């Protein structure tokens, strides 16, 4: 065999990998500058007495925040809202998806209709909600036909239900699409095999369909939860800075705290939310990996 | 005893199935009406004359804003079809009170750069994420997912601190810059790009394409529909923005229509429906044109893992 | 055009899986070499290392005398036809063929004439404006081939390119590839798990197993003189028959291997070696020939004879073989042995 000079070179794969890492650079730098680094500052702020003195105070800020009446109320309201809205939105959107997947005529039209609220800016639709839910509004007008007393929908304990409705109106379509995709990706042969094996419809649903839906269920739950924090938009546009007390949400609390620029309060509130979210996401991932492991692609 | 034959049972089952489909269709139709009505009402009401609006809704808006001085009617009158269709509201909005057009423009100059740059930077980054799936990159991608899932209540505080540091508070940059680097588009496009078969990329490398050419000539076109769907989703999200504006750019004259619309005062309530409709138009057009892409994008977003 | 030299090539995947284990091979300029072996034997990995899509853990690759370790795929000047064809789905057939020329900044007129020429040669000129999604399997395959051939390259690599075609198309494409190789006179390296492809196409066959080269010889030699039990067993259908045997002086156990067509039924000639007798278990009629499975007690054998209605299930036959048709392998090492005398047990 002829001898050739061997030129040592860095391996081609590693070089390609470095080069493709360059593609990540703009995004990663941006995320670092605008989210990660300032979040480290937030963590720092949440453990010191104030931004000038910078004396470490342990968990004092958190303790103070958890004792803060406004925060407690906002957190409770947000939790109770999410606790109602998220399960409802998961169940209802799954129902919608199953109806549309059950061979009804005009499926694509219905899909368009159910999806349309997602595209309508909240600000555009708020007027109509006001007309409907105002004390002198259309809903009370209709109900009066049945002799129902006038209710001040937005300024009473009913207000949360109204917001839940608006939330469902806007978000069901999105979740429905996710469920439709999941339903249609269940292997046909599995369902057919179960049918031939004599499984009842209920068994097929609980034992087969739900297994295949579990990753989507996880995702829809997380996404609904996050979107439920965004319902501030509807609440704010509908009722302004100072809503009825059951509508006082965490975002209202944050807004007010921004007004007074209390960094400690802001930072510790953001931290608490962050930890809370991480726990929820982690728990859902954990549950899903236990439950949906066998069916993933 | 002769049991009902299998054939008879089958016939009964078929009848029941038909009835079931019919009931489900009716149910879906009722739901459709509920879903469509608010939007349609907003649009039809925009064609009413100011007088008609005032007499229909005076009870609500006049009372709330003007302290009950202008009291027209105790009851509201929610109507589908205007007494008389008129374009007067639109003429006023478009030609006589430029304020609304300014606010519309505010929305455009906030949203357009965010959509453009978020999707652009995300496309590049998603190539980096999908080309090689090393441990570090998978971990980084997971961090992006967590960040994507964080609500505004968490992310706005860091954003505020940066804006303060960069002295961009109360300028448009305070909203545009964090918007550009929001990880949502990266997430969806990475999902899409991971579906481009590896052999196609390898074929292009053997055909003499550089890494950048593989990206622009092969991967981008392969992901065309995913890119379009991300554009729609990002647009919708920011066209609808409220939280960021209130905290990072609380300057009334720079506010986008998505915040300003709710502040239209009683005197101009008649215009509000027309403005609301105009504000819907870009979103609705995008929706009607790209519904299938939107659905595709949503479907991509549903695959948290893998 | 160029020859290829692989020197002590090894590929260990992260996780410790040794895909290719210290192989050395010289491929001459213009040769048609076929790598064959069971799935996971390292043949595709070897091919991908030649292409530069996979880096080698150790060892050296030379193409046309140039050291290629660390050289990017695009600078190696090789073409690869993928098993999945890997056509660019958003481009027309024309653009698929033209892509590599565009990347090399060939001028437009030249591109056009090259693309049309190759399309005509492969009879895909009527498909030029179609997208890959509108092509049949055979058409896609020819486009993939065209994409590799449109530009002159040093080496053409094929990764199981015919495995997604039906049997009829496959045999016509085999003939086409052989003709192409003759016309181009280029170096072809071809990977397949199909021994028919290997036997009919290659100037030389490289049999691989578990990351190692078992044998590298022209097809006829691979068939008639396998160097080890693996090669003997892998090449040929039905499989070669292995029969336990011994060799003198100490009755060491060996494996005797006999091709199915070499086994004889009820041979009365003196120089036949008697292997045993038994009942016919199964008869597979294949038209002119038939496969006969006979149970010899300890083991069962398959033999090929001319179709004969007299051979039926349940009948008893004596099975024997001519001594020159017997291969002897060491039971321990699996390597072929020179043995003048042996006995079946």
Q: Which helix (H) or strand (E) holds A82?
A: helix A69-100
Instruction: Give me the residues of A, 194-223, that contact B with CB < 8 A.
Output: 215-216, 218-220, 222-223
B205/B289 same-domain check:
yes
In sequence order, the 6+-apart residues with CB closer than 8 A to the CB of A217 are A90, A94, A210, A288
Does the pLDDT at position A14 exceed 80? no
Structure tokens given for A127: 């007027």
Residues C156 and C148 sit within 8 Å (Cβ to Cβ): yes
Inter-chain touch A16–C60, beta carbons under 8 Å: no
B197/B127 same-domain check:
yes
B147/B224 same-domain check:
yes
Residues C190 and C205 sit within 8 Å (Cβ to Cβ): no
Q: What is the DSSP letter of A18?
A: H
Tell me the percentage of chain C whose pLDDT exceeds 90.
71
**Fold topology of A65-295:** MetI-like fold (1.10.3720)
What's the farthest any 2 CA atoms get from each other in chain C?
Answer: 76
ipTM passes above 0.90: no
B79/B140 same-domain check:
no
Phi-psi domain of C236 (left: phi exceeds 0; alpha: psi -120 through 50; beta: other) = left
Neighbours of A296 (CB within 10 A): 13
The pLDDT score that the predictor gives to residue B64 is: 44
What range defines the domain where residue B223 resides?
Answer: 93-301
Measured between CB atoms, does A114 come within 8 Å of chain B? yes
B133/B48 same-domain check:
no
B219/B258 same-domain check:
yes
The phi and psi torsions of B250 (rounded to 5 degrees) equal: -85, 65
Distance CA B212, CA B205 (A): 10
Instruction: Please spell the DSSP secondary structure of C181-230, one letter per residue.
Output: HHHH--EEEEEES-HHHHHHH-SEEEEEETTEEEEEE-HHHHHHS-SBHH
Structure tokens given for A5: 């000079």
B84/B141 same-domain check:
no
Q: Count Cβ neighbours within 10 Å for each residue of A152-187 and write b for 16 or more, e otherwise.
A: ebbbeeebbebbbbbbbbbbbbbbbbbbbbbbeebe
Structural domain boundaries of chain A?
Answer: 65-295
Among B27, B104, B158, which would you mutate to test the A interface (most chain A Cβ atoms within 10 Å of its Cβ)?
A: B158
Angle at A99 between CA A98 and CA A103, to 5 degrees: 100
Distance CA C120, CA B108 (A): 53
Structure tokens given for C71: 């050289």
Instruction: Please spell the DSSP secondary structure of A221-257, one letter per residue.
Output: HHHHHHHHHTTHHHHHHHH-SS--GGG--HHHHHHHH
Distance CA C81, CA C149 (A): 9
Measured between beta carbons, the chain B residues lying within 8 angstroms of A277 are 149-151, 154
Nearest to C86 among B202, B221, B224 (CB): B202
Total residue count of chain A as it appears in this document: 297
B163/B61 same-domain check:
no
Inter-chain touch A103–B21, beta carbons under 8 Å: yes
B23/B98 same-domain check:
no
Place of tokens 């495995």: C163
Distance CA B135, CA B155 (A): 26
In sequence order, the 6+-apart residues with CB closer than 8 A to the CB of B97 are B268, B271
The pLDDT score that the predictor gives to residue B69 is: 41
B33/B164 same-domain check:
no
Angle at C78 between CA C214 and CA C131, to 5 degrees: 115
Calculate the CA dihedral of residues C214, C217, C222, C225 and round it to 10 degrees: -90
B214/B132 same-domain check:
yes
**Tens digits of residue pLDDT in A20-67:** 889 999 999 999 999 999 999 999 999 998 878 888 888 999 999 999
Inter-chain touch B149–A177, beta carbons under 8 Å: no
Domains of chain C: 4-233 (3.40.50.300), 239-344 (2.40.50.140)
Q: Which residue of B has its CA nearest to C95?
A: B217
Distance CA C79, CA C160 (A): 14
> Where is the domain boundary, B74, B91, B108?
B91
B48/B87 same-domain check:
yes
Instruction: Please spell the DSSP secondary structure of C77-102, one letter per residue.
Output: TEEEE-TT----TTS-HHHHHHHHHH
> Where is the domain boundary, B45, B64, B91?
B91
Distance CA B194, CA C194 (A): 31
In a domain, B11, yes or no: yes
Does the pLDDT at position A8 exceed 80? no
In a domain, B306, yes or no: no
Measured between CB atoms, does A185 come within 8 Å of chain B? no
Does the pLDDT at position A295 exceed 60? no
Total residue count of chain B as it appears in this document: 306
Does the pLDDT at position A119 exceed 70? yes
Residues C245 and C333 sit within 8 Å (Cβ to Cβ): no
Q: Which residue of A has its CA nearest to B21?
A: A104
**Tens digits of residue pLDDT in B91-132:** 888 888 788 889 999 999 999 999 999 999 999 999 999 988
Pair type for strands C155-159 and C78-81: parallel
Measured between CB atoms, does C9 come within 8 Å of chain A? no
Nearest in space to B136 (alpha carbons), one of C16, A24, C200: A24
Structure tokens given for C102: 């565009």
What separation in angstroms does the CA of B296 have from each of B114, B116, B188?
21, 20, 10
Q: What is the mean pLDDT of residues C239-255?
A: 88
Q: Which helix (H) or strand (E) holds C243?
A: strand C241-247
Among C29, C69, C70, which would you mutate to test the A interface (most chain A Cβ atoms within 10 Å of its Cβ)?
A: C70
Q: What is the DSSP letter of C14?
A: T
Measured between CB atoms, does C73 come within 8 Å of chain B? yes
Does the pLDDT at position A297 exceed 60? no
Measured between CB atoms, does B210 come within 8 Å of chain C? yes
Distance CA B107, CA B255 (A): 8
Q: Calculate the average pLDDT of chain C.
A: 92
Tell me which long-range contacts B28-32 makes (C-beta under 8 A, separation of at least 24).
B28/A96, B28/A99, B28/A100, B28/A104, B28/A110, B29/A110, B31/A96, B31/A113, B31/A114, B32/A109, B32/A110, B32/A113, B32/A114
Measured between beta carbons, the chain B residues lying within 8 angstroms of A99 are 24, 27-28
Inter-chain touch C71–A4, beta carbons under 8 Å: no
SS3 for A116-151 is HHHHCCHHHHHHHHHHHHCCCCHHHHHHHCCCCCCC
Nearest in space to B168 (alpha carbons), one of B258, B104, B251: B251
What separation in angstroms does the CA of B139 have from each of B44, B135, B142, B143, C230?
51, 6, 5, 6, 44
Tell me, yes or no, if the pTM score tops 0.80.
yes
3-class DSSP assignment, residue C324: helix
Q: What is the DSSP letter of B288?
A: H
Q: Which residue of A has its CA nearest to C53?
A: A13
Chain B adjacent subunits, 3+ CB pairs under 8 A: A, C
The pLDDT score that the predictor gives to residue A151 is: 84
Measured between CB atoms, does B63 come within 8 Å of chain C? no
**Tens digits of residue pLDDT in B247-290:** 999 888 899 999 988 877 656 777 888 999 999 999 999 999 99
Distance CA B258, CA C11 (A): 59
In sequence order, the 6+-apart residues with CB closer than 8 A to the CB of A111 are A100, A176, A177, A180, B295
**Tens digits of residue pLDDT in C64-80:** 999 998 888 888 899 99
In a domain, B214, yes or no: yes
Domain total in chain B: 2
Does the pLDDT at position B65 exceed 60? no
Q: What is the mean pLDDT of residues C281-297?
A: 92
**Tens digits of residue pLDDT in B173-225:** 999 999 999 999 999 999 999 999 999 999 999 999 988 999 999 999 999 99
The CATH number of residue B121's host domain is: 1.10.3720.10
Structure tokens given for C140: 């896609």
Inter-chain touch B78–A104, beta carbons under 8 Å: no
Inter-chain touch A116–B287, beta carbons under 8 Å: yes
């Amino acid at each position: 065999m002829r001898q050739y000079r061997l030129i040592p070179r860095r391996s081609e794969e590693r070089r390609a990998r470095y080069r493709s890492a360059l593609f990540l650079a703009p995004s990663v730098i941006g995320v670092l500058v605008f989210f990660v680094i300032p979040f480290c500052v937030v963590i720092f702020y949440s453990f010191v007495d104030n931004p000038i003195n910078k004396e470490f105070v342990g968990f004092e800020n958190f303790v103070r925040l958890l004792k803060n009446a406004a925060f407690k109320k906002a957190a409770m309201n947000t939790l109770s809202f999410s606790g109602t809205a998220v399960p409802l939105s998961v169940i209802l959107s799954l129902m919608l998806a199953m109806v549309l997947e059950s061979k009804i005529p005009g499926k694509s039209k219905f899909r368009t209709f159910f999806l349309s609220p997602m595209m309508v800016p909240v600000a555009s639709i708020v007027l109509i909600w006001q007309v409907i839910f105002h004390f002198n509004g259309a809903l009370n007008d209709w109900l009066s036909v049945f002799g129902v007393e006038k209710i001040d929908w937005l300024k009473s304990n009913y207000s949360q239900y109204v917001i839940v409705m608006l939330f469902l109106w806007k978000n069901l379509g999105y979740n429905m699409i996710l469920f439709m995709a999941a339903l249609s990706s269940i292997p046909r042969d599995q369902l057919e095999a179960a049918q031939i094996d004599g499984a009842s419809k209920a068994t097929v649903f609980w034992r087969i369909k739900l297994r295949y839906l579990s990753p989507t269920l996880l995702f829809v739950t997380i996404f609904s939860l996050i979107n439920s924090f965004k319902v501030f938009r509807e609440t704010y546009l509908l009722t302004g800075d100072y809503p009825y007390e059951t509508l006082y949400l965490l975002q209202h609390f944050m807004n007010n705290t921004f007004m007074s620029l209390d960094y400690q309060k802001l930072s510790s509130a953001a931290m608490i939310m962050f930890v809370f979210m991480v726990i929820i996401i982690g728990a859902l991932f954990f549950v899903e990996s236990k439950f949906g492991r066998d069916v993933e692609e | 005893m002769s049991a009902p034959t299998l054939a008879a049972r089958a016939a009964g089952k078929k009848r029941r199935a038909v009835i079931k489909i019919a009931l489900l269709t009716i149910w879906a139709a009722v739901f459709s009406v509920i879903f469509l009505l608010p939007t349609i009402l907003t649009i039809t009401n925009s064609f009413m004359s100011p007088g008609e609006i005032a007499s229909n809704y005076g009870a609500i808006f006049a009372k709330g804003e003007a302290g009950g001085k202008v009291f027209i009617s105790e009851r509201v009158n929610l109507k589908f079809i205007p007494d008389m269709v008129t374009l007067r509201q639109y003429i006023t909005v478009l030609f006589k009170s430029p304020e609304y057009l300014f606010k519309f423009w505010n929305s455009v100059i906030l949203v357009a750069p965010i959509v453009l740059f978020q999707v652009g930077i995300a496309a590049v980054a998603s190539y980096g994420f999908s080309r090689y799936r090393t441990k570090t990159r998978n971990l980084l991608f997971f961090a992006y997912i967590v960040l994507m899932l964080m609500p505004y209540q968490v992310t706005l505080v860091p954003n505020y601190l940066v804006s303060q540091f960069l002295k961009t508070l109360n300028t448009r940059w305070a909203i545009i810059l964090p918007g550009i680097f929001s990880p949502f588009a990266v997430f969806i496009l990475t999902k899409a790009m991971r579906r481009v078969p590896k052999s196609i990329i390898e074929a292009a490398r053997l055909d003499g394409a550089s890494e950048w050419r593989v990206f622009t000539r092969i991967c981008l076109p392969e992901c065309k529909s995913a890119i379009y769907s991300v554009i729609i989703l990002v647009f919708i999200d920011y066209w609808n923005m409220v939280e960021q504006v209130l905290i990072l750019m609380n300057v009334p004259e720079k506010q986008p229509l998505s915040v300003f619309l709710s502040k239209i005062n009683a005197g101009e309530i008649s215009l509000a429906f027309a403005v609301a409709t105009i504000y819907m138009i870009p979103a609705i057009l995008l929706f009607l044109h790209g519904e299938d892409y939107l659905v595709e994008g949503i479907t991509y977003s549903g695959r948290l893992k893998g | 055009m160029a020859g290829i030299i692989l020197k002590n090539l090894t590929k260990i995947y992260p996780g410790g899986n040794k895909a290719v284990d210290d192989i050395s091979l010289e491929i001459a300029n213009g040769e048609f070499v076929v790598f064959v072996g069971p799935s996971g034997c390292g043949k595709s990995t070897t091919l991908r290392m030649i292409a530069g899509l996979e880096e080698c853990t150790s060892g050296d690759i030379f193409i046309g005398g140039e050291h290629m370790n660390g050289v990017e795929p695009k600078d190696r000047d090789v073409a690869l036809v993928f098993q999945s064809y890997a056509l660019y789905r958003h481009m027309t057939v024309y653009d698929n063929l033209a892509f590599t020329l565009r990347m090399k900044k060939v001028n437009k007129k030249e591109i056009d004439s090259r693309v049309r020429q190759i399309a005509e040669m492969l009879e895909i000129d009527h498909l030029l404006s179609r997208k890959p999604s509108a092509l049949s399997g055979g058409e896609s395959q020819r486009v993939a081939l065209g994409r590799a051939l449109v530009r002159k390259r040093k080496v053409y690599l094929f990764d199981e390119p015919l495995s997604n075609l039906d049997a009829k198309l496959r045999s016509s494409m085999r003939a086409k590839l052989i003709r192409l190789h003759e016309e181009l006179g280029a170096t072809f390296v071809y990977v397949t798990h199909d021994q028919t492809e290997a036997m009919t196409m290659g100037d030389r066959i490289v049999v691989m197993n578990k990351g190692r080269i078992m044998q590298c010889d022209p097809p006829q030699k691979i068939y008639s003189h396998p160097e080890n039990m693996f090669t003997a067993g892998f090449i040929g259908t039905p499989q070669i028959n292995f029969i336990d045997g011994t060799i003198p002086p100490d009755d060491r156990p060996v494996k005797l291997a006999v091709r199915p067509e070499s086994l004889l039924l009820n041979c009365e000639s003196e120089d036949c070696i008697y292997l045993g007798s038994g009942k016919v278990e199964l008869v597979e009629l294949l038209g002119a020939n038939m496969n006969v499975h006979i149970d010899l007690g300890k083991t069962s054998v398959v033999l090929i004879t001319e179709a004969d209605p007299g051979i039926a299930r349940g009948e008893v036959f004596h099975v024997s073989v001519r001594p020159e048709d017997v291969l002897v392998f060491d039971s321990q090492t699996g390597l072929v042995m020179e043995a003048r005398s042996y006995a079946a047990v």
